[in-house]
């Protein structure tokens, strides 16, 4: 735990808010989950307990009962913000919902309270537009789904976000075992979604152009670059790809041949109609009669193992 933060409000307790709540409670924080109805909160509460169990049963946390004892729920924003030090907001992805919420939180919460938004693609400058008092305390903290099993959190400060807000959020994220990165300027999609979308366009296009099946595109990524990317990012991969000359040799010599591939690759910015049905048919064929629940369970089993293998030791605070 860090000195300045003891109590956290998870405003919005859907899929993402539930992941946050589990991580904060397991790491010793008092957590108040807030949402619009008691029904949503009761469903959220049991899902958070299930995430806590999963993490503890797999050696990624301790003491389920103590963590569960730190959780509470409320439908009142005012109650949720009472006595908190840090807010993680995970409400619907809409400026029409987030903007008035941030204005209201700005009125209700004492000045020192930081607001971190889970938004997948909105920029903090836009979200914080109507914060009249302390817009410097709001920042994007974009997690990846499933939030309790994927360590990355992208911090994207808005035009008015203070250095202190960024630094505190960074420390809080590290303290709950996340791996934060900080953007130097605001861009839609942050870092990792932009890279994912560039890859996704090419994956869709390869199928659309009849180059490979959906199954083989997925297999090529999983068995090739994917297994390496779990360990190193593209820069380090190519540093090693340059042999003895490292990145410099790769950039000045080998890398130049890639411009021929780039000329031949997809450049569209609106998904062509021809792509859509092929993607749907290809995935349905690949998945067969496996349910979404079965696929999620399979994914989570290996995400848990990878978390332990790659991210729990020195950086892990589970
Ligand atoms: N789903 C993902 O894969 C993913 C990943 C990273 C980030 N995000 C971002 O996280 C945020 C939440 O996404 P989600 O997938 O959890 O959505 P969700 O629909 O599962 O949950 C949103 C919750 O917010 C509640 N809510 C809506 N307005 C509210 C308000 N004014 N006050 C309190 N609660 C309110 C809803 O009742 C709902 O329970 C979005 O900004 C989304 O872009 C989603």
Distance CA 306, CA 318 (A): 14
- Of 170, 157, 15, 156, the closest CA to residue 86 belongs to 170
Domain with CATH 1.10.1040.10 in the chain: 192-287
Top-tier CATH class for 7-182: alpha beta
State in Å: Cα 94 to ligand 1 middle.
Answer: 9
Mean pLDDT of the chain: 95
As beta bridge partners, residue 140 has 117, 156
Contact criterion met (CB below 8 Å) for 45 and 33: yes
User: Is a pLDDT exceeding 90 seen at residue 1?
Assistant: no
- Residues near 38 by Cβ (< 8 Å), separated by ≥ 6? 73, 75
Q: Over 50: is that where the pLDDT of 317 sits? A: no
**Ligand 1 pocket residues where CB is under 6 Å:** 11-17, 34-36, 40, 90-93, 97, 101, 118-120, 142-143, 145
For the segment 241-281, what is each residue's pLDDT rounded down to a tens digit?
999 999 999 998 877 778 889 999 999 999 999 999 999 99
Q: How far is it, in rounded angstroms, from Cα 15 to Cα 179? A: 20
Measuring CA to CA, how many Å separate 152 from each of 142, 149, 179, 198, 218?
8, 9, 5, 19, 22
Give the CA angle between residues 172, 178, 184 to the nearest 5°: 75
Among protein residues, the one whose CA lies closest to atom 30 of ligand 1: 91
pLDDT tens per residue, range 224-243: 999 999 999 999 999 999 99
Identify the pLDDT of residue 313. 63
Centre of ligand 1 to C-alpha 182, Å, is 22
Q: Measured in angstroms, how far is the CA atom of residue 209 from the centroid of ligand 1?
A: 36
Q: Which residues of 260-274 are buried (b: 16+ CB within 10 A; e: fewer)?
A: eeeeeebeeeeeeee
214-221 vs 273-287: helix axis angle to the nearest 10? 80
Is residue 119 within 8 A of residue 94, CB to CB? The reply is: no
d(CA 2, CA 115): 16
Name residue, tokens 């049905």: 277
Q: Grade residue 312 by pLDDT with cuts at 50, 70 and 90.
A: confident
Q: What is the mean pLDDT of residues 41-57?
A: 97
**Rounded Cα distance, 124 and 156, in Å:** 7
- DSSP line for 157-171: E-TT--HHHHHHHHH
**Who contacts 195 (Cβ-Cβ below 8 Å, separation ≥6)?**
234
pLDDT single digits (tens) 198-207: 999 999 999 9
Mutate which of 11, 20, 88, 91 to test ligand 1's pocket (most atoms within 8 Å of Cβ)?
Answer: 91
Domain with CATH 3.40.50.720 in the chain: 7-182
- Cβ atoms of 25 and 31 closer than 8 Å: yes
Tens-place pLDDT, residues 92-147: 999 999 999 999 999 999 999 999 999 999 999 999 999 999 999 999 999 999 99
**Residues contacting residue 69 through CB under 8 Å, at least 6 positions apart:** none
pLDDT tens for each residue of 69-96: 999 999 999 999 999 999 999 999 999 9
Name 155's bridge partners: 141, 182
Atom of ligand 1 nearest to the CA of 98: 31
Q: What is the pTM of this model?
A: 0.94
Q: What is the pLDDT of residues 176-196, one digit of tens each?
A: 999 999 999 999 999 999 999
Can you give the pLDDT at residue 318?
A: 31
Does domain 192-287 sit in CATH 1.10.1040.10? yes
Mean pLDDT of all residues in 159-171: 98
């Amino acid at each position: 735990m860090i000195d300045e933060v003891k109590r956290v409000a998870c405003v919005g307790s859907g899929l993402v808010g539930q992941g946050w709540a589990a991580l904060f409670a397991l790491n010793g924080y008092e957590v108040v989950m807030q949402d619009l109805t008691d029904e949503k909160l009761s469903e959220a509460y049991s899902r958070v307990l299930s995430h806590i169990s999963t993490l503890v049963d797999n050696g990624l946390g301790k003491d389920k009962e103590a963590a569960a004892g730190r959780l509470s729920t409320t439908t009142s924003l005012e109650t949720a913000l009472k006595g908190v030090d840090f807010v993680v907001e995970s409400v619907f992805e809409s400026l029409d919902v987030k903007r008035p919420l941030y204005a209201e939180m700005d009125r209700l919460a004492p000045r020192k309270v930081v607001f971190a938004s889970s938004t997948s693609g909105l920029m903090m400058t836009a979200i914080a537009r109507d914060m009249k008092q302390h817009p410097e305390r709001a920042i994007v903290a974009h997690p990846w789904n499933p939030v309790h099993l994927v360590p990355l959190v992208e911090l994207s400060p808005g035009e008015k976000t203070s250095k202190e807000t960024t630094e505190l959020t960074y420390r809080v994220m590290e303290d709950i075992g996340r791996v934060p990165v900080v953007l130097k300027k605001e861009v839609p999609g942050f870092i990792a979604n932009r890279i994912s979308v560039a890859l996704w366009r090419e994956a869709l296009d390869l199928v659309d152009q009849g180059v490979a099946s959906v199954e083989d595109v997925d297999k090529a990524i999983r068995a090739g670059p994917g297994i390496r990317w779990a360990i190193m990012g593209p820069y380090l991969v190519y540093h090693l790809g340059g042999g003895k000359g490292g990145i410099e040799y790769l950039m000045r010599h080998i890398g130049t041949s890639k411009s021929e591939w780039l000329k031949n690759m997809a450049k569209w910015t609106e998904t062509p109609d021809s792509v859509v049905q092929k993607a749907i048919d290809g995935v349905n064929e690949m998945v067969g009669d496996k349910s979404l629940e079965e696929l999620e369970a399979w994914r989570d089993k290996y995400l848990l193992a990878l978390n332990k293998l790659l991210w729990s030791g020195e950086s892990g605070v589970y």
